[in-house]
Structure formats: structure tokens, C-alpha cells
Amino acid sequence: MTAVFRQAGLALYRRRWLLSRRSVQLFILLAFINQLPAIGQIAQGNLASSLWFDTLPLSDPFIVLQSLLAGSSPAVTAMIGAALVAGFYMLFGGRIYCSWVCPINMLTDAAHWLRHKLNIKGNMTLSRELRKAVLLLALLLSLLTGSLAWEIINPITLLQRELIWGSAAGTTLLLSLFLFDLLVSRRGWCGHLCPVGAFYGVLGKFGRLRVTATQADSCKGAGCSACVKVCPEPHVLAPVVSGKQQRVTASDCTRCGACLDQCATGALSMQLDLGEARKFKGIPVVSRRDKP
Amino acid sequence: MKSPQPNSVEPPEPQRRQLFRQLFRYAGVALVGSAIGHALIRSRPLRSAEILRPPGALVEARFDATCVRCGLCVEDCPFDILQLASWADPAPTGTPFFVAREEPCRMCVDIPCARACPTGALSPLLTDIRKADMGVAVLVDHENCLNYKGMTCSICVRVCPIREEAITLKPIRSERGLLQIPTVMPDSCTGCGTCEKHCVLSEAAIRVLPRHLGLGVSGTNAVGRKAL
């Protein structure tokens, strides 16, 4: 009997990061939808701009930036909201948004999981830099058309609108996104195309929350590579696994914690890295695959 | 391509050149993409005359740039008249609108939708709902309006929240006798759509249109004779 509990406990422990971030994602998603009898609605609006507990305004800095480029004049509430959100991600790491907040992450993770289960090998190789081009494109188009260019198709707010206000017109877009990740390109959307992730990556480039090899000598390195295999952005772990760096400093790291769940030796941990700030200014060391 | 001489090793590309190469590559993709994207966005349907913006909305071009499509106005409307445009709707995706024939604006005096707006797309300067400009009611169909047929329906006049000001009955003598004609005062009408909602015909004879579609403007015709 205790063995069963031990097994279950271990299984939970091996998924502690996954389960915590799924809880946070679901909480944020439900906070917009559910009317709790005791508190009322926790958050109003959607991820573009919202009001939490009837007091705290939060706005998506990417969407506000598009709006400013389109020619709007800045408004106090939206600017405060955007500054709060931007400040958080600049301090801790931009792509925390991708794995802890964005609801599309659940959709693409499901596609990736199914892809693995069905053993789908076919893969269209895309450059991870493509999303930065899409980001530039979205900003340029906002400037040119005087409209919020990315918001015409942004699947994040699209999904939220469908859930909160119960429409279904955008389901085809969400379905095609799922199928794209499942059949066409491995981690195609979040890892290669999405400009929102690219924006937060640039914004929180020097974020201080970092995967750190605390017990570097217990890491089996390239021989094990369990962490690299599960990482949605595997290139960020390369310098740590090869022993060149103690911390993951690449801006693409989403702090999803998949590597921490997977590491059997306990060599990795997530740490706030407040000291040694000067060490990490400059171009982070990333293995370049296109080098001969 | 390898060079034929074995001892002429190409020096490694300077980092700055690599950076510029990368930068120009992004810029190229973005430029080509924006040309295509621009055409695509422009080909999307513009706002049609059927949808109306909430009170306090900026003029359409500025509204499109300022609204972040968050839906806070939709949630704060106590009568649930507002909705956000889906892909299928004739307005930029995610922007708020209402359809007068389905649910007209109830003209709350505290204007909760405009108060909720975080970006000023619904102007915080609008404090008197009677100054709102969502459009203007126009009696578009004289053929089917019951008052024009000599009956005294006048439902549009009676439901108007700006009583006796925005729509009044003007007597006109015709071959059918004395007709009581509903007449809109454009300066008082806010375009709330209550008259359109309650028109007894199966398709409304009076409709709210955006002001630039609903009203003529006196002045010089570019082709015709000078205005007096």
C-alpha cells in the first residue's frame, strides 16, 4: 500500500513543474470566465487588457505597442497596466508568459504530446528566428495600416474571446494551429512563429529567474541529456549541459521547468540570479548550429 | 564553395557583419511580408453601416488604432448589448459594437462602458450621455412608414429616450390629408437605436446610420453650382 503511495507521490514529484504551471494557466483562464459566488469575477477583460479584483489594471505591452504604432495617443490606465506587466517580465524573464500564462501553450503542448504518442516523424524545419521577422512584420503593419495588425489573427485573445463570450467563428484558426503543430512542424507555432513569444523574449532578455546547474558535478552532461530532450527550446540548455556555463542565459528559455522535472540527478534548479549582473550583459553564448 | 588554394583560409566573418546580415534578413522578410499583409488587411471588410460603436467612441480610424480589443466595455454594459467582432463580423476583429435592431443602447447616465475603457478608445471626456454620437436615426423608407400612409403609428417618437427633442412629429398636408411625419433632429439624436429596435415593420423603416452616411452637408458641390 505504501508502495502505491510512494509511486503516486513520485509520479507527482516528477511532474511538479508541469502541474504547477498548468494550474497557473488554468487559474488565469478561469479567472476571466468564472463568476465566483464569494468574490465575484476575479478578472475582467482579457489578456489584451484586464482589471483584476476590480482594482489592478494589467495590459499586454505588445498590444499596447501595436496600438501606439498605429497612431493612438497613450492613455493612463493602459500605460500603467503595460508597465506593470513589462516590469514583471523584464525582472524575471520574458518568456515566462509563454509557459505560465498563454492559453495557446496548452493547445500546442497537447499537439506536441499527441505527436509524440502517434510517433509522427515528419517535420518541416523552420528557423527559430522566423518569429522575430513575424514580430517586425506585425509592428511594421500596425504602423502602415493604422490598425492593430497582429490582433486580427492573434490566437491568444481569439481563444479567450471564444471561451469568455462564447463564439465559434475562430475555431478553424485554432484547429489549424493545432494541426500545424501536430502534423507539419514540431513545436512549430510557439517555438518558431509566434511573434508574441518573440516580443516577450526580447523584452525579458535579461530576466533574472534562471535554470541553474547547482550541482554541476552530479550532471552527467551529454551522456544523459534528459533535460535537452524535453526542452521546448533545446538550444538554450546546450551551454549548461556541455559545462560551458552554469546558468541558462538565452532569452528563449520559457522557464517551463520541464528540464527540472526530468533531471534525475537533481543537478538543475530554478534560481533568482541577482548577483553578477554584469557578467550577463552582452551577447549570451548560444551554440550556433549554422556554423561549420 | 571551397577555394582551390589550400593555404588561403577565409578569415572568420566579423561579428558586426554577421549582425548586419541577420538584421537585413529580418528587414527583408518584414518588408515583403508587410507588402502582402498590408494588402490583406486592406482587403478585409470595413465597418459596415449595420454596426454601431458604443458611446464615446473616437472616429473610426482612431478607434481602430486605439482600441486594444479587451472587452472591458462589453463586460461592464449592464444590459449586455455590446459584443466583440468575430472574424465573421463586418468590423475589425475583436472591436466592440452593437446592433440597434437587436439591442439598442440604453443610454445609462453614468456611461459604464466608456468608464471601463483603459485606452480612451471610448473617450473619458464624454460625461453627458446626451452628447454621445453613436450615429443618427434616419427615416430611410417613406414608402412603408405607417405615418406616411396616414396612420398614426408614431412608435419611434414615443420610445425615443430623448423625448420630444430627438424625434418629433411634424404635420405635413398632402393629398391623403394631414400626415404626422416623424422628423429627426440630428443635433439631439445620439444614435442609441431605440426607434430602430421598436419600429413595428418587419424591417425597420427608421435606422441608425453613422453620421457621415446619414446626413447631408450643406456647402459647395464640387460639380454643381455654388451654394447661395
B164 CB-contact burial (10 Å; exposed 0-12 / middle 13-18 / buried 19+): exposed
Which of the four pLDDT bands, split at 50, 70 and 90, describes residue A286?
low
- Does B16 reach chain A within 8 Å, measured CB to CB? no
Which of the four pLDDT bands, split at 50, 70 and 90, describes residue A129?
confident
Residues of A in contact with B118 (CB under 8 A): 45, 49, 51, 57, 59, 75, 77-78, 81
Scanning the structure block, which residue is given the C-alpha cell 405615418? B147
- The pLDDT of residue B7 is 57
pLDDT surpassing 60 at residue A156: yes
Residue A263 backbone dihedrals phi, psi, to 5 degrees:
-70, 115
- State how far Cα A222 lies from the chain centre: 25
How would you list the strands of the sheet with A43-46, edge to edge? A43-46, A49-52, A56-59
The residue ranges of every structural domain in chain B are: 48-132, 135-215
Are the CB atoms for B58 and A37 separated by under 8 Å? no
pLDDT surpassing 70 at residue A290: no
Tell me how far apart the alpha carbons of residues B93 and A165 are, in angstroms, rounded to a whole number: 14
**Cβ-based neighbours of A92, under 8 Å, separated by 6 or more:** A204, A207, A208, A209, A255
- Does A45 reach chain B within 8 Å, measured CB to CB? yes
Residue A192 backbone dihedrals phi, psi, to 5 degrees:
-135, -30
A55 by DSSP, 3-state: which? coil
Interface of A with B in 164-183 (CB under 8 A): 164-165, 167, 169-170, 173
Q: Do B33 and A46 touch (CB under 8 A)?
A: no
**Cβ-based neighbours of A284, under 8 Å, separated by 6 or more:** A249, A250, A251
Q: Do B41 and A153 touch (CB under 8 A)?
A: no
B135-215: CATH architecture: 2-Layer Sandwich (3.30)
Lowest mean pLDDT among A114-118, A198-202, A264-268, B155-159: A264-268
B137 by DSSP, 3-state: which? strand
A246 by DSSP, 3-state: which? coil
Choosing among B15, B93, B95, B125, which should be mutated to test the A contact, i.e. which has the most A CBs within 10 A?
A: B93
Tell me how far apart the alpha carbons of residues A213 and A263 are, in angstroms, rounded to a whole number: 11
A231 CB-contact burial (10 Å; exposed 0-12 / middle 13-18 / buried 19+): buried
Q: What angle do CA A150, B84, A153 make, to 5 degrees?
A: 20
- Does B44 reach chain A within 8 Å, measured CB to CB? yes
- For residue B61, the tally of other CB atoms under 10 A from its CB is 12
Tell me how far apart the alpha carbons of residues A171 and A139 are, in angstroms, rounded to a whole number: 25
- The pLDDT of residue B88 is 77
In our burial notation (b when 16+ CB lie closer than 10 A, e otherwise), range A26-54 reads: eebbebbeeeeeeeebbbbbbbbbbbbee
Helix or strand (DSSP H, E) at B97: strand B96-97
Assigned C-alpha cell, A267: 543537478
Question: Could you report the per-residue pLDDT of A19-57, keeping only the tens digit for each?
Answer: 999 999 999 999 998 877 777 788 999 999 999 998 999
What HEC string does B14-58 produce? CHHHHHHHHHHHHHHHHHHHHHHHHHHHHHCCCCCCCCECCCCEC
Ranges of H-type helices in A93-154? 96-100, 104-117, 130-145
**Cβ-based neighbours of A234, under 8 Å, separated by 6 or more:** A228
Residues of B in contact with A31 (CB under 8 A): none
228 residues of chain B, pLDDT tens digit each: 444 555 556 777 788 888 888 888 878 877 888 888 888 777 766 677 778 999 999 998 899 999 999 999 999 999 999 999 887 788 888 999 999 999 999 999 999 999 999 999 999 999 999 999 999 999 999 999 999 998 889 999 999 999 889 999 999 998 888 999 999 999 999 999 999 999 999 999 999 999 888 888 887 666 766 555
- Does A25 reach chain B within 8 Å, measured CB to CB? no
- For residue A125, the tally of other CB atoms under 10 A from its CB is 8
Which of the four pLDDT bands, split at 50, 70 and 90, describes residue A188?
very high
Are the CB atoms for B197 and B208 separated by under 8 Å? no
Q: What is the ipTM of this complex?
A: 0.83
Q: Do B62 and A71 touch (CB under 8 A)?
A: yes
